[in-house]
Amino acid sequence: MHFEIEESDEVFTTHAGLSLVGELLAKTRLEERLNAVVVPGRVAPHVSNAEVAFAYVGLLCQGKSDFDHIEPFRKDRFFGLSLGLREVPSSPTLRQRLDLAASGADWPAILREESADLLHRLGATISPVSWRVDKQEHHYVPLDIDVSPFDNSETKKEGIGYTYKGFFGYAPIFAYLGLEGYAVNGELRGGSVHSQKGAVEFIHESVGCARRITDKTILLRVDSGHDSCDTLRVCQELTIDFIVKRNLRRKHPDLWLAIAQEHGMACQERPGKTVYRGKRKVKVKGVQEEVFEVFEVVERTALANGQVLIAPEIEVAVYYTSLEAPASRIIHLYREHGTMEQFHSELKTDLDIERLPSGKFATNNLVLQFALFAYNLLRFIGQTTLKLTNVPIRKQAQRRRIRTVIQTIITLAAKVTWHARRHWLRLGRGSPWLPVLQDLYRVCRA
Protein backbone atom coordinates (compact mmCIF):
# COMPACT_ATOMS: atom_id res chain seq x y z
CA MET A 1 0.00 0.00 0.00
CA HIS A 2 1.49 3.32 -1.09
CA PHE A 3 0.32 6.76 0.03
CA GLU A 4 0.52 10.22 -1.48
CA ILE A 5 1.52 12.76 1.18
CA GLU A 6 0.34 16.33 0.66
CA GLU A 7 -0.87 19.40 2.53
CA SER A 8 -4.55 19.92 3.34
CA ASP A 9 -6.48 23.18 3.46
CA GLU A 10 -8.07 22.10 6.73
CA VAL A 11 -6.53 22.88 10.14
CA PHE A 12 -5.78 20.00 12.49
CA THR A 13 -4.18 19.85 15.91
CA THR A 14 -2.43 17.01 17.70
CA HIS A 15 -2.92 18.52 21.16
CA ALA A 16 -6.61 19.30 21.62
CA GLY A 17 -6.25 18.71 25.38
CA LEU A 18 -4.43 22.03 25.72
CA SER A 19 -7.89 23.62 25.64
CA LEU A 20 -8.31 22.25 29.18
CA VAL A 21 -4.96 23.70 30.26
CA GLY A 22 -5.95 27.10 28.88
CA GLU A 23 -9.22 27.07 30.85
CA LEU A 24 -7.39 26.19 34.06
CA LEU A 25 -4.77 28.91 33.52
CA ALA A 26 -7.59 31.43 33.03
CA LYS A 27 -8.79 30.65 36.55
CA THR A 28 -5.51 31.86 38.09
CA ARG A 29 -4.11 35.35 38.66
CA LEU A 30 -0.87 34.41 36.90
CA GLU A 31 -1.34 36.87 34.05
CA GLU A 32 -2.01 39.80 36.37
CA ARG A 33 0.74 38.98 38.85
CA LEU A 34 3.49 38.04 36.38
CA ASN A 35 2.88 41.07 34.18
CA ALA A 36 3.13 43.28 37.28
CA VAL A 37 6.70 42.06 37.87
CA VAL A 38 9.26 44.23 36.11
CA VAL A 39 11.96 41.98 34.64
CA PRO A 40 15.40 43.68 34.45
CA GLY A 41 15.91 45.11 30.96
CA ARG A 42 12.31 44.34 29.90
CA VAL A 43 10.21 47.25 31.14
CA ALA A 44 7.61 47.05 28.34
CA PRO A 45 8.31 43.79 26.45
CA HIS A 46 6.61 43.01 23.14
CA VAL A 47 5.86 39.49 24.42
CA SER A 48 4.48 39.79 27.95
CA ASN A 49 5.69 37.82 30.95
CA ALA A 50 2.40 35.95 31.12
CA GLU A 51 2.64 34.90 27.46
CA VAL A 52 6.13 33.51 28.08
CA ALA A 53 4.91 31.66 31.17
CA PHE A 54 1.73 30.26 29.57
CA ALA A 55 3.65 29.11 26.49
CA TYR A 56 6.16 27.23 28.62
CA VAL A 57 3.40 25.62 30.69
CA GLY A 58 1.82 24.51 27.39
CA LEU A 59 5.10 22.85 26.42
CA LEU A 60 5.52 21.13 29.77
CA CYS A 61 1.97 19.80 29.66
CA GLN A 62 2.99 17.90 26.52
CA GLY A 63 6.08 16.45 28.22
CA LYS A 64 8.49 18.87 26.49
CA SER A 65 10.93 20.88 28.62
CA ASP A 66 13.59 22.13 26.19
CA PHE A 67 13.25 25.77 25.12
CA ASP A 68 13.75 24.89 21.44
CA HIS A 69 10.56 22.81 21.50
CA ILE A 70 8.59 26.05 21.28
CA GLU A 71 9.61 26.70 17.67
CA PRO A 72 7.14 24.29 15.95
CA PHE A 73 4.28 26.00 17.82
CA ARG A 74 5.03 29.55 16.70
CA LYS A 75 2.88 29.09 13.60
CA ASP A 76 0.39 26.80 15.34
CA ARG A 77 -2.75 28.92 15.62
CA PHE A 78 -4.50 26.53 17.99
CA PHE A 79 -1.58 26.53 20.46
CA GLY A 80 -1.88 30.29 20.90
CA LEU A 81 -5.68 30.28 20.95
CA SER A 82 -5.95 27.52 23.54
CA LEU A 83 -3.59 29.29 25.96
CA GLY A 84 -4.87 32.77 25.29
CA LEU A 85 -1.63 34.03 23.71
CA ARG A 86 -1.50 37.10 21.51
CA GLU A 87 1.89 35.90 20.26
CA VAL A 88 3.89 32.72 20.88
CA PRO A 89 7.45 33.57 22.04
CA SER A 90 10.49 32.36 20.15
CA SER A 91 13.05 30.02 21.68
CA PRO A 92 15.58 32.84 22.38
CA THR A 93 12.83 34.99 23.93
CA LEU A 94 11.72 32.11 26.15
CA ARG A 95 15.27 31.35 27.29
CA GLN A 96 16.27 34.99 27.86
CA ARG A 97 13.09 35.93 29.71
CA LEU A 98 13.41 32.99 32.12
CA ASP A 99 17.09 33.84 32.67
CA LEU A 100 16.16 37.42 33.58
CA ALA A 101 13.14 36.45 35.69
CA ALA A 102 15.16 33.88 37.63
CA SER A 103 17.35 36.60 39.14
CA GLY A 104 14.50 37.55 41.51
CA ALA A 105 12.38 35.53 43.88
CA ASP A 106 9.03 36.78 42.56
CA TRP A 107 8.24 34.25 39.83
CA PRO A 108 8.86 31.06 41.88
CA ALA A 109 6.75 32.37 44.77
CA ILE A 110 3.93 33.44 42.42
CA LEU A 111 3.88 30.02 40.73
CA ARG A 112 3.77 28.22 44.10
CA GLU A 113 0.98 30.38 45.47
CA GLU A 114 -1.14 30.36 42.33
CA SER A 115 -0.83 26.60 42.01
CA ALA A 116 -2.06 26.13 45.60
CA ASP A 117 -4.85 28.68 45.19
CA LEU A 118 -6.00 27.06 41.94
CA LEU A 119 -6.31 23.63 43.57
CA HIS A 120 -8.31 25.19 46.39
CA ARG A 121 -10.52 27.09 43.95
CA LEU A 122 -11.16 23.95 41.88
CA GLY A 123 -12.04 21.95 44.98
CA ALA A 124 -9.43 19.31 44.13
CA THR A 125 -9.91 16.13 46.15
CA ILE A 126 -7.13 15.79 48.74
CA SER A 127 -7.51 12.29 50.18
CA PRO A 128 -6.32 11.66 53.75
CA VAL A 129 -4.94 8.54 55.40
CA SER A 130 -7.49 7.09 57.82
CA TRP A 131 -7.74 4.51 60.55
CA ARG A 132 -10.05 3.60 63.40
CA VAL A 133 -9.03 3.26 67.06
CA ASP A 134 -11.62 2.44 69.75
CA LYS A 135 -14.49 3.15 67.32
CA GLN A 136 -13.06 6.60 66.60
CA GLU A 137 -12.04 7.63 63.08
CA HIS A 138 -8.75 9.47 62.55
CA HIS A 139 -8.02 11.38 59.32
CA TYR A 140 -4.73 13.06 58.40
CA VAL A 141 -3.64 14.57 55.09
CA PRO A 142 -0.06 13.35 54.43
CA LEU A 143 2.56 15.93 53.49
CA ASP A 144 5.51 13.92 52.17
CA ILE A 145 8.89 15.61 51.84
CA ASP A 146 11.90 13.97 50.23
CA VAL A 147 15.00 14.61 48.11
CA SER A 148 15.24 13.07 44.63
CA PRO A 149 18.56 13.51 42.75
CA PHE A 150 18.50 14.53 39.07
CA ASP A 151 21.19 12.93 36.91
CA ASN A 152 22.95 15.68 34.93
CA SER A 153 26.23 13.82 34.38
CA GLU A 154 28.64 14.90 31.64
CA THR A 155 27.41 18.49 31.76
CA LYS A 156 28.95 21.70 33.07
CA LYS A 157 25.79 23.18 34.51
CA GLU A 158 26.06 25.56 37.41
CA GLY A 159 25.49 23.94 40.81
CA ILE A 160 25.81 20.26 39.94
CA GLY A 161 27.64 18.07 42.42
CA TYR A 162 28.23 14.46 43.38
CA THR A 163 24.93 13.11 44.74
CA TYR A 164 24.35 10.28 47.21
CA LYS A 165 23.08 8.20 44.27
CA GLY A 166 26.60 8.10 42.85
CA PHE A 167 26.32 10.48 39.89
CA PHE A 168 26.79 14.19 39.21
CA GLY A 169 23.66 16.30 39.16
CA TYR A 170 21.23 18.18 41.36
CA ALA A 171 19.48 17.12 44.58
CA PRO A 172 16.11 18.96 44.58
CA ILE A 173 13.70 18.59 47.47
CA PHE A 174 9.95 18.13 46.95
CA ALA A 175 6.75 18.23 49.01
CA TYR A 176 3.60 16.34 47.94
CA LEU A 177 0.14 16.60 49.50
CA GLY A 178 -2.51 13.92 49.89
CA LEU A 179 -2.72 10.42 48.47
CA GLU A 180 -3.09 11.99 45.01
CA GLY A 181 0.40 13.50 45.32
CA TYR A 182 -0.22 17.13 44.39
CA ALA A 183 3.10 19.02 44.37
CA VAL A 184 2.91 21.91 46.85
CA ASN A 185 6.58 22.89 46.87
CA GLY A 186 9.95 22.18 45.31
CA GLU A 187 13.41 23.65 45.44
CA LEU A 188 16.44 22.97 43.28
CA ARG A 189 19.62 22.34 45.28
CA GLY A 190 23.20 21.43 44.53
CA GLY A 191 23.98 17.74 44.21
CA SER A 192 26.22 17.58 47.28
CA VAL A 193 23.89 19.54 49.59
CA HIS A 194 22.76 17.58 52.66
CA SER A 195 19.04 16.81 52.91
CA GLN A 196 18.61 18.73 56.16
CA LYS A 197 20.21 21.97 54.95
CA GLY A 198 17.44 24.55 54.65
CA ALA A 199 14.83 21.91 55.49
CA VAL A 200 13.24 23.94 58.29
CA GLU A 201 12.50 26.87 55.96
CA PHE A 202 11.27 24.42 53.30
CA ILE A 203 8.86 22.79 55.77
CA HIS A 204 7.53 26.24 56.73
CA GLU A 205 6.88 27.08 53.06
CA SER A 206 5.35 23.68 52.31
CA VAL A 207 2.97 23.73 55.27
CA GLY A 208 1.93 27.27 54.30
CA CYS A 209 1.13 26.13 50.75
CA ALA A 210 -0.68 23.03 52.03
CA ARG A 211 -2.89 25.16 54.26
CA ARG A 212 -3.85 27.29 51.24
CA ILE A 213 -5.28 24.10 49.71
CA THR A 214 -6.88 22.27 52.65
CA ASP A 215 -7.88 22.94 56.24
CA LYS A 216 -7.58 19.29 57.28
CA THR A 217 -5.02 18.06 59.82
CA ILE A 218 -1.59 17.66 58.23
CA LEU A 219 0.75 14.73 58.84
CA LEU A 220 4.37 15.37 57.86
CA ARG A 221 6.38 12.30 56.79
CA VAL A 222 10.15 12.50 56.22
CA ASP A 223 12.99 9.98 56.07
CA SER A 224 16.11 9.68 58.21
CA GLY A 225 17.90 12.43 56.28
CA HIS A 226 15.75 14.86 58.28
CA ASP A 227 16.27 13.22 61.69
CA SER A 228 17.05 16.39 63.63
CA CYS A 229 15.71 18.21 66.65
CA ASP A 230 15.14 21.17 64.30
CA THR A 231 12.60 19.12 62.33
CA LEU A 232 10.73 18.11 65.48
CA ARG A 233 10.77 21.67 66.79
CA VAL A 234 9.33 23.19 63.61
CA CYS A 235 6.54 20.58 63.57
CA GLN A 236 5.59 21.48 67.14
CA GLU A 237 5.76 25.20 66.33
CA LEU A 238 3.47 24.73 63.32
CA THR A 239 1.18 22.40 65.33
CA ILE A 240 1.29 19.61 62.75
CA ASP A 241 1.64 15.90 63.37
CA PHE A 242 4.70 14.08 62.10
CA ILE A 243 6.47 10.78 61.50
CA VAL A 244 10.26 11.12 61.25
CA LYS A 245 12.38 8.05 60.59
CA ARG A 246 15.38 7.98 62.89
CA ASN A 247 18.99 7.82 61.79
CA LEU A 248 20.37 5.13 64.09
CA ARG A 249 23.91 6.40 63.55
CA ARG A 250 26.30 4.33 65.70
CA LYS A 251 23.84 2.69 68.08
CA HIS A 252 24.42 -1.06 67.81
CA PRO A 253 21.46 -3.25 66.72
CA ASP A 254 21.96 -5.49 69.78
CA LEU A 255 21.08 -2.52 72.02
CA TRP A 256 17.83 -2.00 70.10
CA LEU A 257 17.06 -5.71 70.38
CA ALA A 258 17.38 -5.46 74.15
CA ILE A 259 15.12 -2.37 74.19
CA ALA A 260 12.58 -4.15 71.97
CA GLN A 261 12.54 -7.23 74.16
CA GLU A 262 11.93 -5.05 77.22
CA HIS A 263 9.36 -2.57 75.83
CA GLY A 264 7.89 -4.27 72.77
CA MET A 265 5.60 -7.14 71.88
CA ALA A 266 7.03 -10.18 70.11
CA CYS A 267 5.43 -11.83 67.10
CA GLN A 268 6.89 -14.96 65.49
CA GLU A 269 5.99 -14.58 61.82
CA ARG A 270 7.63 -17.87 60.89
CA PRO A 271 10.14 -20.29 62.43
CA GLY A 272 13.43 -18.43 62.81
CA LYS A 273 11.95 -14.91 62.42
CA THR A 274 10.74 -12.87 65.38
CA VAL A 275 9.45 -9.30 65.04
CA TYR A 276 9.31 -6.93 68.01
CA ARG A 277 7.14 -3.81 67.76
CA GLY A 278 6.64 -1.22 70.44
CA LYS A 279 6.20 2.37 71.41
CA ARG A 280 7.41 4.54 74.24
CA LYS A 281 7.52 8.22 75.17
CA VAL A 282 10.97 9.85 75.13
CA LYS A 283 12.52 13.25 75.69
CA VAL A 284 14.60 14.50 72.74
CA LYS A 285 17.39 16.95 73.49
CA GLY A 286 16.56 20.40 72.17
CA VAL A 287 12.82 19.67 71.83
CA GLN A 288 10.42 21.10 74.37
CA GLU A 289 7.66 18.47 74.31
CA GLU A 290 8.08 14.72 74.61
CA VAL A 291 7.50 12.58 71.52
CA PHE A 292 6.69 8.95 70.89
CA GLU A 293 9.45 6.60 69.77
CA VAL A 294 8.18 3.67 67.69
CA PHE A 295 10.45 0.75 66.88
CA GLU A 296 10.38 -2.43 64.82
CA VAL A 297 13.19 -4.92 65.39
CA VAL A 298 13.44 -8.09 63.31
CA GLU A 299 15.58 -10.97 64.63
CA ARG A 300 16.34 -13.76 62.16
CA THR A 301 17.94 -16.99 63.32
CA ALA A 302 17.01 -18.90 60.16
CA LEU A 303 16.17 -18.04 56.55
CA ALA A 304 12.80 -18.67 54.94
CA ASN A 305 14.16 -21.84 53.28
CA GLY A 306 15.05 -23.28 56.69
CA GLN A 307 18.80 -22.63 56.61
CA VAL A 308 20.00 -21.86 60.15
CA LEU A 309 22.23 -18.79 60.51
CA ILE A 310 25.51 -18.96 62.44
CA ALA A 311 24.79 -15.55 64.00
CA PRO A 312 21.38 -13.89 64.21
CA GLU A 313 20.57 -11.09 61.74
CA ILE A 314 19.02 -8.01 63.32
CA GLU A 315 17.15 -5.28 61.37
CA VAL A 316 16.08 -2.11 63.15
CA ALA A 317 13.69 0.69 62.14
CA VAL A 318 12.86 3.49 64.58
CA TYR A 319 10.55 6.51 64.18
CA TYR A 320 9.70 9.68 66.06
CA THR A 321 6.01 10.58 65.95
CA SER A 322 3.36 12.74 67.58
CA LEU A 323 0.55 10.30 66.81
CA GLU A 324 -1.01 8.19 69.54
CA ALA A 325 -1.84 5.40 67.10
CA PRO A 326 -0.58 1.82 67.64
CA ALA A 327 3.01 1.06 66.62
CA SER A 328 1.93 -1.17 63.73
CA ARG A 329 -0.18 1.67 62.28
CA ILE A 330 2.70 4.17 62.56
CA ILE A 331 5.01 1.77 60.72
CA HIS A 332 2.41 1.18 58.01
CA LEU A 333 1.85 4.94 57.58
CA TYR A 334 5.56 5.53 57.13
CA ARG A 335 5.88 2.74 54.57
CA GLU A 336 3.22 4.47 52.47
CA HIS A 337 5.61 7.44 52.35
CA GLY A 338 7.52 5.46 49.72
CA THR A 339 4.71 6.11 47.22
CA MET A 340 6.27 9.50 46.50
CA GLU A 341 8.97 7.74 44.49
CA GLN A 342 6.25 7.35 41.84
CA PHE A 343 5.67 11.11 41.90
CA HIS A 344 9.41 11.73 41.45
CA SER A 345 9.39 9.35 38.50
CA GLU A 346 6.51 11.18 36.81
CA LEU A 347 8.29 14.52 37.15
CA LYS A 348 11.57 13.18 35.83
CA THR A 349 10.33 11.07 32.94
CA ASP A 350 6.78 12.12 32.02
CA LEU A 351 7.56 15.85 32.15
CA ASP A 352 11.16 15.31 30.99
CA ILE A 353 12.82 17.61 33.52
CA GLU A 354 15.54 15.40 34.97
CA ARG A 355 18.14 16.88 32.62
CA LEU A 356 17.22 20.51 33.10
CA PRO A 357 17.45 22.70 29.98
CA SER A 358 19.59 25.63 31.18
CA GLY A 359 23.20 25.92 32.27
CA LYS A 360 22.25 28.47 34.95
CA PHE A 361 21.23 27.29 38.39
CA ALA A 362 18.59 30.00 39.03
CA THR A 363 16.94 29.43 35.65
CA ASN A 364 16.76 25.70 36.26
CA ASN A 365 15.12 26.37 39.62
CA LEU A 366 12.50 28.49 37.84
CA VAL A 367 12.00 25.70 35.28
CA LEU A 368 11.40 23.33 38.19
CA GLN A 369 8.67 25.64 39.54
CA PHE A 370 6.98 25.69 36.13
CA ALA A 371 7.20 21.89 35.98
CA LEU A 372 5.49 21.55 39.38
CA PHE A 373 2.73 23.89 38.22
CA ALA A 374 2.18 21.88 35.02
CA TYR A 375 2.35 18.65 37.04
CA ASN A 376 -0.56 19.83 39.22
CA LEU A 377 -2.64 20.82 36.19
CA LEU A 378 -2.15 17.37 34.64
CA ARG A 379 -2.75 15.66 37.98
CA PHE A 380 -6.06 17.48 38.42
CA ILE A 381 -7.17 16.52 34.90
CA GLY A 382 -6.17 12.92 35.51
CA GLN A 383 -7.96 12.72 38.87
CA THR A 384 -11.08 14.25 37.33
CA THR A 385 -11.20 11.47 34.72
CA LEU A 386 -11.42 8.95 37.58
CA LYS A 387 -14.79 10.44 38.52
CA LEU A 388 -16.19 10.11 34.99
CA THR A 389 -18.10 7.01 33.92
CA ASN A 390 -17.41 7.29 30.18
CA VAL A 391 -13.60 6.90 30.21
CA PRO A 392 -12.51 4.10 27.82
CA ILE A 393 -9.81 2.95 30.26
CA ARG A 394 -11.48 0.29 32.38
CA LYS A 395 -8.67 -0.32 34.82
CA GLN A 396 -9.51 1.04 38.26
CA ALA A 397 -6.83 3.27 39.79
CA GLN A 398 -6.32 5.63 42.69
CA ARG A 399 -4.23 7.98 40.54
CA ARG A 400 -3.98 8.54 36.83
CA ARG A 401 -0.32 8.65 35.79
CA ILE A 402 0.84 11.91 34.19
CA ARG A 403 2.08 10.08 31.09
CA THR A 404 -1.38 8.55 30.62
CA VAL A 405 -2.99 11.99 30.86
CA ILE A 406 -0.61 13.40 28.23
CA GLN A 407 -1.04 10.46 25.85
CA THR A 408 -4.84 10.12 26.12
CA ILE A 409 -6.10 13.65 26.85
CA ILE A 410 -3.54 16.34 26.00
CA THR A 411 -2.40 14.87 22.67
CA LEU A 412 -5.87 14.18 21.27
CA ALA A 413 -6.06 14.88 17.54
CA ALA A 414 -8.83 17.19 16.39
CA LYS A 415 -9.93 19.38 13.51
CA VAL A 416 -9.96 23.10 14.36
CA THR A 417 -12.59 25.34 12.78
CA TRP A 418 -13.69 28.89 13.51
CA HIS A 419 -16.52 31.05 12.20
CA ALA A 420 -18.33 34.16 13.43
CA ARG A 421 -16.04 34.51 16.45
CA ARG A 422 -16.74 30.93 17.54
CA HIS A 423 -14.27 28.06 17.61
CA TRP A 424 -14.80 24.31 17.35
CA LEU A 425 -12.67 21.26 18.10
CA ARG A 426 -14.00 18.32 16.11
CA LEU A 427 -12.76 14.85 17.00
CA GLY A 428 -13.02 11.94 14.63
CA ARG A 429 -16.33 10.10 14.28
CA GLY A 430 -16.60 7.34 16.85
CA SER A 431 -13.75 8.68 19.02
CA PRO A 432 -14.19 7.14 22.50
CA TRP A 433 -12.50 10.20 24.04
CA LEU A 434 -14.99 12.74 22.68
CA PRO A 435 -17.46 12.55 25.63
CA VAL A 436 -14.52 12.54 28.05
CA LEU A 437 -13.07 15.74 26.59
CA GLN A 438 -16.54 17.35 26.59
CA ASP A 439 -17.06 16.51 30.28
CA LEU A 440 -13.56 17.65 31.25
CA TYR A 441 -14.04 20.94 29.43
CA ARG A 442 -17.31 21.56 31.29
CA VAL A 443 -15.56 20.87 34.61
CA CYS A 444 -12.65 23.19 33.79
CA ARG A 445 -15.00 25.99 32.68
CA ALA A 446 -17.41 25.64 35.61
- CA 243, CA 410: separation in Å to the nearest integer? 37
What does the DSSP assignment read for 302-350? E-TTSPEEEEEEEEEEEEEE---S-HHHHHHHHHGGGGHHHHHHIIIII
Q: How many domains, in total, are found in the chain?
A: 1
Across residues 264-291, what is the average pLDDT?
91
Q: What's the pLDDT tens digit per position in 356-365? A: 999 999 999 9
Domain that holds residue 402: 11-120+363-445
Query: For residue 381, is pLDDT > 80?
Result: yes
| Residue predicted with more confidence, 415 or 8 | 415
| 340 pLDDT higher than 80 | yes
b/e map 96-110, b = 16+ CB within 10 Å: bbbbbbbeeebbbeb
* pLDDT tens column, 77-89: 999 999 999 999 9
**pLDDT tops 90 at residue 423:** no
Determine, yes or no, domain membership for 200.
no
Q: Does 215 reside within a domain?
A: no
**Residue 89 has what DSSP assignment?**
P
In a domain, 167, yes or no: no
Mean pLDDT of 168-172: 95
325 within a domain of the structure (yes/no): no
pLDDT at residue 395 in the model? 75
Residue 437 counted as domain residue: yes
pLDDT band at 251 (very low <50, low <70, confident <90, very high): confident
Distance CA 93, CA 292 (A): 54
Q: Does the pLDDT value for residue 294 go beyond 80?
A: yes
Helix (H) or strand (E) holding 168: strand 168-170
User: What are the pLDDT digits (tens) for 173-205?
Assistant: 999 999 999 999 999 999 999 999 999 999 999
- Whether 43 maps to a domain, the answer reads yes
pLDDT reported for residue 250: 77
> Residue 225 domain-assigned?
no
Statement: residue 288 has pLDDT above 90: no
Is residue 310 situated within a structural domain? no
pLDDT above 90: residue 404: yes
Cβ-defined contacts of 435-438 (< 8 Å, 24+): 435/390, 436/385, 436/388, 436/390, 436/391, 436/392, 436/409, 437/16, 437/17, 437/20, 437/409, 437/412
pLDDT digits (tens, 9 = 90+) for 55-98: 999 999 999 999 999 999 998 999 999 999 999 999 999 999 99
